[in-house]
Structure 1
Amino acid sequence: MSGLIAESALARSATTAEPSVGDFIELMKPRVMSLVVFTSLAGLFAAPGTLHPVLAIIAILCIAVGAGASGALNMWYDADIDARMARTAARPIPRGRVTPDEALAFGTVLSVVSVLTLGVLINWVAGALLALTIAYYVFFYTMWLKRRTPQNIVIGGAAGSFPPMIGWAAVTGTVTIESVLLFLIIFMWTPPHFWALALYRSRDYERVGVPMLPVVAGPDETRRQILLYSLVLVPLAVVPYFIGLGGIVYAVASVALGLVFLHFAVKVWRIREGRAADHAAKQLFGFSILYLFLLFAVILGEHLALKLV
C-alpha cells in the first residue's frame, strides 16, 4: 500500500491536477450504488405502513451514501490489485487522480455521516443495519474474504443483500420474514452473477492472486456451481407471491424471468470451450442484472400502485 501511495503521489505531481467531483463520484461505484438504491426503494415501498416523503428521501439518500462509502473504502484497500487488472486499472486511485489517503478520508466521513443521519432522523434499526452493511463489506469481505477464499462472493454477498432490508426497517423499525426473503433473493443471486463475470475475467483475478472460484476450482466447477445456485434462486424468487409480498404480476414475471435465467445458466454449463463459452458467460452476467432489476421493479410497482389507490 505504501508503494501505491508513492506512485499515486508521483502521478498527482506529474499532472498537478486536483481530483474532480467526478473522480469522487467514481470512487462511490455509481453503477453498484444505483442497484443498491433501487432495491432499498423496493423494500421501503413494500413495507407495511408509510414514511413521510421527506424522510423517505433522506432514508434512500443515506443508504446511497453508505453504499458509496463502502465503494470508496473498497477502492482504497484494493488499489494495489486494481492497478493490475484490466477491468479496474482506470479507477481514480490507480490513475493517480485521487490519492489513497483522500479515498480513505472520503469513505470514512461518508460512512459516519450516512449511519448517524439514518439513525437519528429515521430509526436506529435502519441505522444499525446500514452500519453492519458497510462494516461487513469493508472489513469482512474486502479485507478478509476476498483474497483468502474462493467462497468470497458467497459469504461476502451478504453485504449487497442488506439494502431492501434497510429500506424495510426505515419504515417499520423491524426486521421481518418478508425483508429477510428479499435479502435471500439477492444473496442467492450474487454467486451466479459474479461467477459469470469471473469466468471470462479469470486471468485478471489469477494475475493478482484473488482466489475466485474459476481460478481455484477451475471453470467447469464454476459452471456447475452457477447452475446449482440458479436452481435454488429461481424458485426462491417466486416465494414472495406465496407470502403476499408480490401479486399476480410478480408471480408471472418471476416465473418467466426465472426460466430465462435458467436458460442462460444451462448454456454456461453446456458450452465450455473458446469464445462461445465467454459469450455465454457474458450473456448470463448481463441478463442477471436485468433479472434482479425487473424482479424488484415489479415488487416496487405493485406496492406503489396499492399505496396510491
Structure 2
Amino acid sequence: MNKEGIPSPLKDGLDAFSKEKNTSTLITDLKALFKANVLLANVLPVFTGYWLSLAFSNTSFSANWSLFLLTMIGGTMVIAGALIINNWYDVDIDTVMDRTKNRPTVTGNISLKVVLTMGIAFSLFGFILLLFTTIEAAIWAFVGWFTYVILYTMWSKRRYTLNTVIGSVSGAVSPLIGWTAIQSGFHLVPVVLFLILFIFQMPHTFAIAMRKNNEYKAAGVAMLPVVHGFAMTKRQIFVYVACLLPLPFYLVSLGTTFIVIATLLNITWLALGIYGFFTKNDQKWARVIFIYSVNYITILFLLMVIVTLPLFG
C-alpha cells in the first residue's frame, strides 16, 4: 500500500498501462504527422525507379547496397519532410475536416514549432543524403519537394482546381529520384513512369475529393467537385484513366506479361469510369474508384520489379 492508498502491484499496473497508452498515442500521432500511407505510396516508386535503373544498366544490386540505402533513406526523408510541412501549413484546414481533425497539429499533441522544425530537418537531411548519390537525384527530389510544399500546399491548394495537377507533379517525380541515382533520367522508362504516376493521381485524387466533398467545401479548398460538381469530375476521371491506356506499350522492354496485365488493369479501371456515368450512388462509386486506384498503382509498380527479376539472375 502506497501513500495514495493504492496497492503497489495495482499502482505499477496502472503506471505501465499509462505508459503503454502514451506510447500508443505517440505512434498514432507520428503516423498521422508523416501521413504514413501517403509516404509509403511515394517510397515504392523510388524503389521501383532504382530497381529498373539497375536492370537496364546491367548493374549489380548487391554491389550497390550503400547507394541503395542512401537513395531510399534520402528520398524517404525528403518526402516525409514535405508531408510534415504540409501538415504544419494546413492546420487551419485540418481543424475543419473530419478526416484530419485528429492529426497532432490539430490536437496540439505536437506543437507547430516542433512540427515545422521536423519538416525542415527531415528535408535538409534527405537532400544531403541524396547529394551523396547523384546531383540529378537530388535535383529531382527538390523539384518534387518545391512543387508539393510551395506550389501546391502554399499557393494553389486553396485557390485553384489545378491544385490537383500541380500536386500530381510532385508525386510523379519519385521514380526519377531512384532512377537517376544510377544513371541519367534522359531515358524512355523513367519518363513513362513519371507519366503513369502523374495521370494516375488525377482520378485517384478526384475520387477522394468526391468522397470528402462536403469537408473540402467547408474548409474552402478548391477541389474540382467542390467548384465544378460531380458530373464534371466524372468526365475528368474517365479522360485521365483513358490516357493511361497507351502507356504500357511504351514499356515493351518489360515484356509481354507486364503489358497484358497493365492493359487489363487499365481497361478494368476505364470500365469502372464508364459505370460512373450511370450510377446513382456517387459516393459508393467514388469509394470503388479510390480503392481500385490504390491497388492499381501498387500492383503496377510491384509488377515492374517482378518481371525484371530474371535480369538479375
TM over 0.5: yes
Q: Is 1:36 paired with 2:46?
A: no
Q: Match for residue 10 of structure 2?
A: none
Shift of 1:178: 1.7
Q: Is 1:75 paired with 2:76?
A: no
Contact 2:189–2:251, Cα closer than 8 Å, also in 1 = no
> CA deviation digits over 1:53-110, x for unaligned, max 9?
2221221111111111111000000011001101111111101111111111000011
Q: Is 1:249 paired with 2:257?
A: yes
Q: Calculate the TM-score normalised by the size of structure 1.
A: 0.88
Contact 2:136–2:180, Cα closer than 8 Å, also in 1 = yes
Counterpart-to-counterpart distance in 1, 2:308 and 2:41: 18
Counterpart-to-counterpart distance in 1, 2:241 and 2:288: 14
- The equivalences for 1:139-288 within 5 A come to 139-236=150-247, 238-242=248-252, 244=253, 246-271=254-279, 273=280, 276-288=281-293
Counterpart-to-counterpart distance in 2, 1:224 and 1:173: 37
Q: Match for residue 291 of structure 1?
A: 296
* TM-aligned CA distance change 1:266 to 1:115, over 3 Å: same
Number of corresponding residues = 285
Counterpart code for 1:144: W
Partner secondary structure for residue 106 of structure 2: coil
- Calculate the aligned-residue CA RMSD, in Å: 1.7
| Candidates 286, 303, 309, aligned match of 1:304 | 309
Q: Match for residue 7 of structure 2?
A: none
Q: Match for residue 65 of structure 1?
A: 77
Counterpart code for 2:78: G
Counterpart code for 2:190: S
Unaligned runs of 5+ in 2: 1-21
Counterpart code for 2:297: L
Moved over 6 A (4+): none
260-269 or 95-104: which moved more?
Answer: 260-269
Contact 1:189–1:230, Cα closer than 8 Å, also in 2 = yes
Q: Match for residue 117 of structure 1?
A: 129
Q: Calculate the TM-score normalised by the size of structure 2.
A: 0.87
Counterpart-to-counterpart distance in 1, 2:192 and 2:185: 14
Shift of 1:265: 1.2
Shift of 1:25: 4.1
Counterpart-to-counterpart distance in 2, 1:215 and 1:90: 23
Counterpart code for 1:265: G
Shift of 1:156: 2.0
Counterpart code for 1:65: M
* TM-aligned CA distance change 1:148 to 1:240, over 3 Å: same
Contact 2:85–2:149, Cα closer than 8 Å, also in 1 = yes
Contact 2:207–2:290, Cα closer than 8 Å, also in 1 = yes
Partner secondary structure for residue 182 of structure 2: helix
Partner secondary structure for residue 20 of structure 1: helix
| Candidates 45, 48, 51, aligned match of 1:45 | 51
Counterpart-to-counterpart distance in 2, 1:98 and 1:259: 45
Counterpart-to-counterpart distance in 2, 1:199 and 1:235: 27
Counterpart-to-counterpart distance in 2, 1:221 and 1:158: 22
Unaligned runs of 5+ in 1: 1-16
Counterpart code for 1:249: T
| Candidates 8, 11, 20, aligned match of 2:26 | 20
Partner secondary structure for residue 269 of structure 1: coil
Counterpart-to-counterpart distance in 2, 1:171 and 1:27: 31
Counterpart-to-counterpart distance in 2, 1:96 and 1:298: 41
Counterpart-to-counterpart distance in 1, 2:235 and 2:31: 37
Counterpart-to-counterpart distance in 2, 1:204 and 1:58: 39
Rg larger in 1 or in 2?
Answer: 2
